[in-house]
A and B are shown apart, each in its own frame.
Chain A
């Protein structure tokens, strides 16, 4: 009897603890935006309305699937806590998908703002960092888009999809950014998003009622940082080159011009790159080796794809074109931004640790006058489901 009572007593601690929080007490935050106005942080948090996100038959979607809370404070933590004055539920950040920074804040430096996110126990590190290009983070979160019900999910999914299928896009997580800031041989970068048609109202479900929503969000360019300050934006081609150099291209499509005029699109099936560096007579000597496997994707010129020599010619042209893109990207790093965001410094560190000891203190300046050797190898293996274009017959 006594044992039975004791066993019953043992069940007491199982019932829960001081920190139990039921589902209906959580304000699940999917997206967070951080801006700065004067000396205060403006934090916007987007919380899902569970009822609206759940798939319902006959749901008209008249109500917005998310609600956004905004508050200001001298520190981010205070601002988020202050949201309880407006929100009936305490913000729960474990499921955060994206963290947006306004461009203005990014230009002042985001390092301090990131501390909370790596210190707080609720957050994981599987969300992406993004910069709202030419806008505040609040404005960018304020756009409802179709297909994905909540804006943060849209941003998360589209950066994931796009990174795998389109070379100029890269995803950056908190850990990537922190590692880059700390390492002396690589400056950080973060992908940007742009609001298409920022003057229209995107925050209402009305935005979804048309086939082509007026306001949309687009991945656009990569922001270049020196330490934690944004210093500029890579163009699309520079971003493409960046991703080829840093081995971040999974699949993409590019074009070359045909020998007799016209264009031909090539799909990248597989791409690998390796960067290295050493010192030759006091000057950094960097190397980029890229190997790419491609297939012919679209032919818009008169060309005989059945000949081996044609394929060899196309490979040569593709190699030249990619070499040019990569050189252009490195030039931008050396001349325009004067910042080694590719990680060449880290490559020297890995390969020649002793040499790196002398180089690391003024690496960014040394990088500017480094010689770069670009070596591209391209194999075109397949031509898709047909050989020659049917347009060939018209000649």
Chain B
């Protein structure tokens, strides 16, 4: 279980930022536009607001259980057996998450660039890098994302600046036509994709230097990440219109195809696709890292690194079958995923938080100090 490396608060911010954008930026505008039409960007804003609340919850969890990973939080709240069982559920979800994101990557390539290359080939190449990152440890991942951040920012600024001339303001009118309900449900699906999986950052948080100070940083970087996605969604609506955005598999990719500055700077979409590779990499790595960490904690292994390679093989194979087809993928993402992630990302953490608070209160009563030590031991 040894992870000697420690990451700084700033590195955690970079990770959170890229993690928030993750796959969200590539797929979520379509879902938002399908539910909220031209108000998709309002849905994105609602999503960020909901996300802030979710992060508040996680920060609460961090205060109640300082320095514990998610599996250990479950154990300390629910006792050894129930806690471990819950930990297993989370571990499974981390692996499922890693597999689905790998499928997204492979599917994106197969749909947009290389339809005749087998899926396993793309997925395996990506998985090798992910497994390598997880194996080399948190410090390496954090430094790698620090290195990738300038590239990300550069591409993103380029994206925004080059899209401004093509924007048609009439596309967002009439504002607020769909009403609260679709905007809220769009926001929920956004928060479900971008913020609720952040529960897996609990495998990272114990390794942050001075975690108390990083709380503000978490909020700031998650908000900034959210703003990036809001901007991309807004541009999708402004340029493609709600109809084409809602109908596209990858609306932000359809969006960058529109870049054309003076018939000269055009057809740059393959370069700008670099954006999603960076953010998707961070997201996959985190799912995967959380998965292997949880597994090693559940099994009580001394070195989590021994499971990185076998798990990578399992994840690659699983990603090939995780969605049988893209129609199923969309069904799963829109119908099954939201309640699932709300259960795992909100309801259970909330329960754990309440249990933790209750225990803390009883801890403050001096007469029960022996009981507390028992609690800690379990």
The interface of chain A, by Cβ under 8 A from chain B, is 13, 17-19, 121, 124-126, 175, 178-179, 182-183, 346, 349-353
Contacts and interface: CB of A to CB of B under 8 A. Distances in A.
Interface in B126-181: 170, 173-174, 177
B173 A350 contact: yes
Interface stretch (B47-55, B188-196, B223-231, B239-247): B239-247
B260 A126 contact: yes
8 contacts: A18-B117, A19-B113, A121-B113, A124-B257, A125-B254, A178-B244, A182-B243, A349-B174
A19 B121 CA distance: 12
Nearest to A176: B241
B299 interface: no
Nearest to A183: B243
B303 interface: no
B267 A124 contact: yes
Contacts of A351: 173-174
Contacts of B115: 19, 121
B259 to A, nearest CB: 10
A175 B117 contact: no
B244 A126 contact: no
Contacts of A179: 241, 243-244
Interface in B204-246: 240-241, 243-244
A283 B118 CA distance: 60
Given A125-B258, A126-B260, A17 B244 contact: no
A17 B117 contact: yes
B111 A350 contact: no
B125 interface: yes
B114 interface: yes
Closest 5 CB pairs of A and B: A350-B173, A19-B114, A18-B117, A353-B174, A353-B177
Interface centre among A179, A183, A346 (most CB of B within 10 A): A179
Contacts of B267: 124
B260 A121 contact: no
Contacts of B118: 18
B266 interface: yes
A353 B38 CA distance: 12
A18 B174 contact: no
Given A124-B257, A175-B244, A19 B116 contact: yes
B334 interface: no
B362 interface: no
A391 B278 CA distance: 70
Interface of B: 111-118, 121, 125, 170, 173-174, 177, 240-241, 243-244, 254, 257-258, 260, 266-267
A17 B120 CA distance: 12
Contacts, number: 48
Given A121-B111, A175-B240, A179-B244, 12 more contacts: A18-B117, A18-B121, A19-B114, A19-B115, A19-B116, A19-B117, A121-B112, A126-B260, A179-B243, A346-B170, A350-B170, A353-B177
B121 A17 contact: yes
Contacts of A350: 170, 173-174
A175 B257 CA distance: 12
Given A126-B266, A349-B174, A353-B177, A13 B125 contact: yes
Contacts of A182: 243
B330 to A, nearest CB: 15
Contacts of A17: 114, 117, 121
Nearest to A178: B244
B89 to A, nearest CB: 36
Nearest to B177: A353
Nearest to A247: B170
Contacts of B125: 13
A18 B257 contact: no
A351 B177 CA distance: 11
Contacts of A13: 125
Given A19-B113, A175-B240, A182-B243, A125 B257 contact: yes
Contacts of B113: 19, 121
A322 to B, nearest CB: 23
Nearest to B266: A126
Nearest to B253: A121
A13 B177 CA distance: 50
A18 B258 CA distance: 27
A266 B160 CA distance: 39
B123 to A, nearest CB: 13
A179 to B, nearest CB: 5
A18 B266 contact: no
A122 B220 CA distance: 39
Contacts of A346: 170
B178 to A, nearest CB: 9
Contacts of A126: 257-258, 260, 266
Contacts of A175: 240-241, 244
A382 to B, nearest CB: 27
A172 to B, nearest CB: 14
Nearest to A349: B174
A154 to B, nearest CB: 16
A182 B247 CA distance: 11
Nearest to A182: B243
Contacts of A352: 174
Contacts of A121: 111-113, 115
A352 B174 CA distance: 8
B299 to A, nearest CB: 29
Contacts of B174: 349-353
Nearest to B38: A350
B116 A18 contact: yes
A178 B114 CA distance: 26
A352 B118 CA distance: 51
A163 to B, nearest CB: 14
Nearest to B257: A124
Contacts of B266: 126
A390 to B, nearest CB: 40
B176 to A, nearest CB: 9
Contacts of B170: 346, 350
